[in-house]
């Protein structure tokens, strides 16, 4: 089992280009697994963790409802935003500047074969990262992602998650609002959940800007510990 994960920071990158790159890595892993099965061989499958920041974009998961996008094509252009229907789970979400997005493309057979556990560990890596900033967060029952003030009228989501998995290979991932312009969330019903607000780390800390490089380093540390992996 290969417990090494190659980390690549793509910087700011177009959503479609990043999606295509994810698909390429995803298919490469599936191809190795197919060859292993076909020829009864044991060639190692790679694992990847991509970090990226997208220009303003709304994405709708395969189980999502397009009516949760509250603006039309003309208004999207005015906002400088794009829109994609994509092949992850979940409903609609927003990505944009100031957000730390992570896409783990892992062969879970290198770690464990449990999608529920996988999602919980993704959440935990963010929960532990926020804890380092003195921000208490947690899970909201039946709602994937990381939340603040769960169980109160002030519950708000700070990290959205949506994944795709096939033959234990994952893609897509998490989006943590670090220095996000929360106004862009006003144009959707985030994750299809009405009456729940969103949060950004800089707002919670009462500062203009949080160091995003530092946030990524903290996520990587917790990710590697939780997955018992070495990041390269």
Is 134 annotated in some ligand binding site? no
φ, ψ of residue 155 in degrees (nearest 5): -55, 135
Is 181 annotated in some ligand binding site? no
Distance of alpha carbon 157 from alpha carbon 123, whole angstroms: 12
Is 64 annotated in some ligand binding site? no
Is 164 annotated in some ligand binding site? no
Is 161 annotated in some ligand binding site? yes
Q: Tell me the Cα Rg of the chain.
A: 17
Catalytic pick among 106, 163, 191, 219: 191
Is 151 annotated in some ligand binding site? no
Distance of alpha carbon 106 from alpha carbon 170, whole angstroms: 5
Is 95 annotated in some ligand binding site? yes
Is 183 annotated in some ligand binding site? no
Which residue carries 């920041």 as its tokens? 53
Query: 212-226 and 115-132 helices cross at what angle (nearest 10)?
Result: 140
Distance of alpha carbon 129 from alpha carbon 132, whole angstroms: 5
Residue 159 is among the residues annotated as catalytic for this protein: no
Give yes or no for a contact between 169 and 163, defined as CB atoms under 8 angstroms apart: no
Is 90 annotated in some ligand binding site? yes
Is 162 annotated in some ligand binding site? yes
Q: Quick one: which H or E segment has residue 126? A: helix 115-132
Residues 6 or more apart whose CB falls under 8 angstroms from that of 19 comprise 84, 86
Give catalytic residue positions.
191
Residue list, annotated binding site for substrate: 88-95, 160-162, 173-175
Residue list, annotated binding site: 88-95, 160-162, 173-175
């Amino acid at each position: 089992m290969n417990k090494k994960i190659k980390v690549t920071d793509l910087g700011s990158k177009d959503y479609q280009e990043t999606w295509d790159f994810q698909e390429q890595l995803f298919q490469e892993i599936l191809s190795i697994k197919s060859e292993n099965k076909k020829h009864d061989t044991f060639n190692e499958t790679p694992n990847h963790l991509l970090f990226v920041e997208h220009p303003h974009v709304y994405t709708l998961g395969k189980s999502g409802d397009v009516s949760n996008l509250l603006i039309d094509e003309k208004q999207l252009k005015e906002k400088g935003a794009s829109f994609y229907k994509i092949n992850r789970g979940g409903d609609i979400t927003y990505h944009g500047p100031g957000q730390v997005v992570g896409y783990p493309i892992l062969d879970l057979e290198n770690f464990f074969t449990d999608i529920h556990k996988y999602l919980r560990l993704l959440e935990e890596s963010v929960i532990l990262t926020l804890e380092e900033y003195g921000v208490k967060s947690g899970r909201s029952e039946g709602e994937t992602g990381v939340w603040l003030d769960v169980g109160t009228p002030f519950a708000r989501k700070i990290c959205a998650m949506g994944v795709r998995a096939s033959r234990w290979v994952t893609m897509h991932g998490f989006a943590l609002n670090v220095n996000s312009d929360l106004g862009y969330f006003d144009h959707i019903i985030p994750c299809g959940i009405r009456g729940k607000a969103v949060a950004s780390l800089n707002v919670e800390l009462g500062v203009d800007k949080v160091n995003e490089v530092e946030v990524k380093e903290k996520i990587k540390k917790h990710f590697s510990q939780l997955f018992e992996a070495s990041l390269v």
